[in-house]
Amino acid sequence: MIAIYMEHKNGKLKKHSLELLTFAKNAFEGEITAFSVGKEVNYQESFNYGADHFVLLFTENENIHEEGIANAIKSFVKRKEFKIFIFPASNTGRDIAARVSAFLDLPLLQDIVEFKKENDNLLFKRPIVAGKAYVWEKINTERFAISVRPNVFPPEENKKEGKFEKIDVSIEEKIKLIDIKEKEEGEIDVAEAEIIVSGGRGVGGPDGFKPLKELAKVLGAAVGASRAAVDAGWIDHSHQVGQTGKTVSPKLYIACGISGALQHLAGMRTSKVIVAINKDPNAQIFEIADYGIVSDLFEIVPALTEEIKKLKGDT
Ligand SMILES: Cc1cc2nc3c(=O)[nH]c(=O)nc-3n(C[C@H](O)[C@H](O)[C@H](O)COP(=O)(O)OP(=O)(O)OC[C@H]3O[C@@H](n4cnc5c(N)ncnc54)[C@H](O)[C@@H]3O)c2cc1C
List, for residues 109-157, the tens digit of each pLDDT value.
Answer: 999 999 999 988 999 999 887 777 889 999 999 999 999 998 888 899 9
Number of the ligand 1 atom closest to the C-alpha atom of 228: 23
Domain 2-168 carries which CATH code?
3.40.50.620
Nearest C-alpha to atom 52 of ligand 1 is from which residue? Answer: 263
Q: What pLDDT, in 10s, does the model give residues 249-288?
A: 899 999 999 999 999 998 899 899 999 999 999 999 999 9
Task: Answer yes or no: same fold for 2-168 and 195-312.
Answer: yes
Nearest C-alpha to atom 19 of ligand 1 is from which residue? Answer: 228
Is any ligand 1 atom within 6 A of the Cβ of residue 269? no
Whether 169 has a pLDDT exceeding 80, the answer reads: yes
Instruction: Name the residue of 190, 197, 239, 259 whose CB sits within 8 Å of the most ligand 1 atoms, as the mutation to test its pocket.
Output: 259
Looking at the DSSP bridge assignments, the partners of residue 164 are: 54
Is any ligand 1 atom within 6 A of the Cβ of residue 226? yes
User: Which one is the CATH code of 195-312: 3.40.50.300, 3.40.50.1220, 3.10.450.50, 3.40.50.720?
Assistant: 3.40.50.1220
| pLDDT given at position 185 | 59
Whether 315 has a pLDDT exceeding 70, the answer reads: no
Residue 168 to residue 57: CA distance in whole angstroms: 6
Length reported for the chain: 315
Which has more confidence, 176 or 299?
Answer: 299
Distance from the alpha carbon of residue 261 to the mean position of ligand 1, in angstroms: 6
Is any ligand 1 atom within 6 A of the Cβ of residue 131? no
Is any ligand 1 atom within 6 A of the Cβ of residue 261? yes
Domain locations in the chain as residue ranges: 2-168, 195-312
- Asked if residues 63 and 37 have their Cβ atoms less than 8 Å apart, the reply is no
Residue 187 to residue 217: CA distance in whole angstroms: 9
Q: What pLDDT, in 10s, does the model give residues 50-64?
A: 999 999 999 998 889
Nearest C-alpha to atom 38 of ligand 1 is from which residue? Answer: 202
Instruction: Name the residue of 129, 238, 244, 299 whose CB sits within 8 Å of the most ligand 1 atoms, as the mutation to test its pocket.
Output: 244
Distance from the alpha carbon of residue 258 to the mean position of ligand 1, in angstroms: 5
Q: What pLDDT, in 10s, does the model give residues 74-122?
A: 889 999 899 999 999 998 999 999 999 999 999 999 999 999 999 889 9
Q: What is the largest CA-CA distance in the chain?
A: 60
Number of the ligand 1 atom closest to the C-alpha atom of 296: 42
Is any ligand 1 atom within 6 A of the Cβ of residue 297? yes
Residue 88 to residue 105: CA distance in whole angstroms: 19
**How many CB atoms are closer than 10 A to CB 138?**
10
Is any ligand 1 atom within 6 A of the Cβ of residue 224? no
Is any ligand 1 atom within 6 A of the Cβ of residue 201? yes
Mean pLDDT of 293-302: 98
